Amino acid sequence: MKILILGGAGMVGQKVANYLIENGLDDREISELILYDVVDAKVSQSSFPVKVLSGNIADPEQSKVLANLEADVIFHLAAIVSGEAEKDFDKGWDINSKGGWNLLEALREKHVSSGEKYIPRLVFASSIAVFGGPFPNKIDDDFLCAPKTSYGAQKAMVELLVSDYSRKGYIDGLSVRLPTICVRPGKPNLAASSFFSGIIREPLNGVEAILPVSDDVRHWHASPRSAAKFFAHAATLDTSLLDGRRSLNLPGVSCTVAEQIEALGKVAGEDAVKLIKRVPDQDIISIVDNWPRNFDPARAIELGFTAESNFEEIIKVYLEDDFEG
Amino acid sequence: MKILILGGAGMVGQKVANYLIENGLDDREISELILYDVVDAKVSQSSFPVKVLSGNIADPEQSKVLANLEADVIFHLAAIVSGEAEKDFDKGWDINSKGGWNLLEALREKHVSSGEKYIPRLVFASSIAVFGGPFPNKIDDDFLCAPKTSYGAQKAMVELLVSDYSRKGYIDGLSVRLPTICVRPGKPNLAASSFFSGIIREPLNGVEAILPVSDDVRHWHASPRSAAKFFAHAATLDTSLLDGRRSLNLPGVSCTVAEQIEALGKVAGEDAVKLIKRVPDQDIISIVDNWPRNFDPARAIELGFTAESNFEEIIKVYLEDDFEG
């Protein structure tokens, strides 16, 4: 089985790659793993071949190159983040939407030219940003997508395409709506959600962190380790169980910023907590104000997806998997 | 005020045009009405100039031509119907989705080149086909779009674009999810929903009609006259009331095929009813099986949209507006 990760150099792409290298994919033999991104992806030592490819998914010609790889499983995580998509309208739609559409078109051509034999499993990294307020207390599996960011609209659009191309049998795809992934290792990024990780990661590393929103902001989180497991599980899921609804809200932890900070205090003490500096940022407040706070992801849970059950666990996953201090 | 109707030669486009010619648009002075379609639209006698343009909205160059008209209100009804979009995948996505996207891009360019002064009202003709089963008894305003036809996915995609381009201030748009328009005058078309009109229209005209689904199929209807009023109302609506949710489920009549036939009997007698011939068609049964049956369109009603209150009224509108027998 050949596996292709688009966005393979990104944080979650790397987590998926390393998960596959360490755990395989159920009982399927992995013959090759290909990591594709705009920059060269890092590669860990592996018992099966891992190849690195670079290119820009916004270039339609690249889609053909990718389809010609005839991967059995494609994880599509290539995207620019929410903050950047909001600032650069063209870039967001080009990469986050047209990039995905071009890929699906190239896969359909491959499907046709293979005599309809080639039907790859495609797992699309969607986001809870497909939802926009006002929200119920818990978002259930029947709640509408009314995104209030370009990023959310771009993700929702590709979800529609993944569903329709799958319904037609050109691919066998599904979209997983990731919670905010927390605690992200490394440096802050342009995502408006970056601070949710920053206020934990920076203090754990003895560094000051900026909190741009109020303590009562509630949000929906899962660890990078859970993200990798989501993708691996989605890659082997029996999609006939989805009954045509190929976008899934995934499990996660709902907590307020205050509860995040309380968990940080429990794990790392009050000195860590004191490193959090409150500097309200109206742009981020406005974006986050339109983000979901809590979910009842009944379908995904029934389908076997799992995540952490409280924020302390999420911090502990960071300490186990990514902390270098 | 200059008004442009895309799909101006189609049945609903013509109803909108004639409604504007007869009633104007509230207290706004109409300086020009432009009817655009792949074929030349019919024009009724009018107190203001009516121009006819022809072209294919799937051609990106055409979008620029249309944007250069600088219409104040654009009704976008240009589409191929559900049955055709299901049969011809490329044509459906090209016309129903890329056509809309190209138009929005051209309008955005016009917005920018006008020094951000040009912000047209765009009313996009969406459809209840954006919904896919399983359904609740009544679909409320928070129910998810999970289309199970390409046509529905194409409409849902353009809704996302209309919302995001509006949120960014490039246009001031909204999408109206039309019920199945019934009783359509004229001939049957390729829409899978065509029979809902056929089983009323043909018997009223003394002609045999084919019923391809069972009598207990429940569906959601509004008359062509209501459709014209929906568009006129949407053209002048205060969109700030939409609070960023720019797709609206419209009011209509929920009834079963049996109730449609009962209403036909009341209006036209049992001889008319006897002209309905039951010939099950598995393709149409499958498509219609995934269509909505009933709605609770609370937002649209609160915003002042109105339709008929029972199917007998819908038949009477046909007799008043379109019957030539």
**Mean pLDDT, to the nearest integer, of B207-224?**
97
Is pLDDT above 80 for A116?
yes
Residue of chain B with shortest Cα separation from A90: B105
Least confident of A25-29, A41-45, B187-191: B187-191
User: Which has more confidence, B177 or A81?
Assistant: B177
A255-303: per-residue pLDDT in tens? 999 999 999 999 999 999 999 999 999 989 988 888 899 999 999 999 9
| The pLDDT value given to residue B287 | 82
Asked if residue B134 has a cis previous peptide bond (ω within 30° of 0), the answer is: yes
Pairwise CA distance, residues B77 & B227, whole Å: 11
Nearest-CB residue to A148 (from B141, B143, B167): B167
Is pLDDT above 90 for A325?
no
A38-85: per-residue pLDDT in tens? 999 999 999 999 999 999 999 999 999 999 999 999 999 999 988 899
Is pLDDT above 90 for B190?
no
A positions 41-70 inside 8 Å of B (CB): none
| The pLDDT value given to residue A153 | 98
The residues, any chain, with a CB within 8 Å of residue A187's CB and separated by 6 or more, are none
Is there a contact between B244 and A168 if contact means CB atoms under 8 Å apart? no
| The pLDDT value given to residue B134 | 92
Q: How much of chain A is helix, strand and coil, in % rounded to 5?
A: 45, 20, 40
Q: To the nearest whole number, what is the mean pLDDT of chain A?
A: 96
| The pLDDT value given to residue B37 | 98
| The pLDDT value given to residue B75 | 98
Is there a contact between A157 and B153 if contact means CB atoms under 8 Å apart? no
Tell me the nearest-neighbour CA distance from A11 into chain B, angstroms. Answer: 28
Cβ of residue A168 closer than 8 Å to a chain B Cβ: yes
ipTM (interface predicted TM): 0.95
B positions 214-273 inside 8 Å of A (CB): 243-245, 247
A213-250: per-residue pLDDT in tens? 999 999 999 999 999 999 999 999 999 999 999 999 99
Is there a contact between B132 and A245 if contact means CB atoms under 8 Å apart? yes
User: In angstroms, what CA-CA distances link B155 with A40, A198, A243, A291, B94?
Assistant: 38, 39, 21, 24, 12
Tell me the nearest-neighbour CA distance from B4 into chain A, angstroms. Answer: 26
List of chain A residues whose C-beta atoms are within 8 Å of the C-beta of residue B245: 132, 146
Answer whether B102's CB lies under 8 Å from B60's CB: yes
Is pLDDT above 90 for A36?
yes
| The pLDDT value given to residue B191 | 81
A180-221: per-residue pLDDT in tens? 999 999 988 878 889 999 999 999 999 999 999 999 999 999
B136-154: per-residue pLDDT in tens? 999 999 999 999 999 999 9
Answer whether A312's CB lies under 8 Å from A267's CB: yes
Give the percent of chain B with pLDDT over 90.
Answer: 93
List of E strands, chain B = 2-6, 32-37, 50-54, 73-76, 121-127, 172-178, 180-181, 209-211, 218-222, 247-249, 253-256, 276-278
Cβ of residue B87 closer than 8 Å to a chain A Cβ: no
Testing the interface with B: which of A160, A165, A287, A299 to mutate, by most B Cβ within 10 A?
A160
Nearest-CB residue to A168 (from B89, B157, B245): B89
Cβ of residue B163 closer than 8 Å to a chain A Cβ: yes
pLDDT tier at B189, thresholds 50, 70, 90: confident
Cβ of residue A174 closer than 8 Å to a chain B Cβ: no
| The pLDDT value given to residue A289 | 85
Give burial (CB, 10 Å; 0-12/13-18/19+) of A180: buried
Is pLDDT above 80 for A314?
yes
Q: Helix (H) and strand (E) counts for chain B?
A: 13, 12
Domains and CATH numbers, chain B: 2-178+224-249 (3.40.50.720), 194-219+253-295+305-321 (3.90.25.10)
Nearest-CB residue to B153 (from A142, A146, A164): A164
Is there a contact between A142 and B144 if contact means CB atoms under 8 Å apart? yes
Is pLDDT above 90 for A154?
yes
| The pLDDT value given to residue A190 | 76
| The pLDDT value given to residue B188 | 85
Residue of chain A with shortest Cα separation from B247: A146
Is there a contact between A153 and B164 if contact means CB atoms under 8 Å apart? yes
Is there a contact between A153 and B161 if contact means CB atoms under 8 Å apart? yes
B40-50: per-residue pLDDT in tens? 999 999 999 99
Pairwise CA distance, residues B77 & B234, whole Å: 13
Residue of chain A with shortest Cα separation from B149: A164
**Mean pLDDT, to the nearest integer, of B215-242?**
98
Give burial (CB, 10 Å; 0-12/13-18/19+) of B287: buried
| The pLDDT value given to residue A188 | 86
Least confident of A26-35, B141-150, B185-194: B185-194
Tell me the nearest-neighbour CA distance from B156 into chain A, angstroms. Answer: 8
List of chain A residues whose C-beta atoms are within 8 Å of the C-beta of residue B145: 144-145, 160
List of chain A residues whose C-beta atoms are within 8 Å of the C-beta of residue B244: 132, 146, 148
A60: its two tokens: 């339609």
Residue of chain A with shortest Cα separation from B151: A164
β partners of residue B178: B127
Q: To the nearest whole number, what is the mean pLDDT of chain B?
A: 96
pTM of this structure: 0.96
| The pLDDT value given to residue B16 | 98
| The pLDDT value given to residue A202 | 97
User: In angstroms, what CA-CA distances link B27 with A61, B18, B20, B71, B243?
Assistant: 52, 17, 12, 17, 25
| The pLDDT value given to residue B44 | 95
Strands B218-222 and B253-256, sheet pairing: antiparallel
- Interface contacts A/B by beta carbons within 8 Å: 63
Tell me the nearest-neighbour CA distance from B103 into chain A, angstroms. Answer: 15
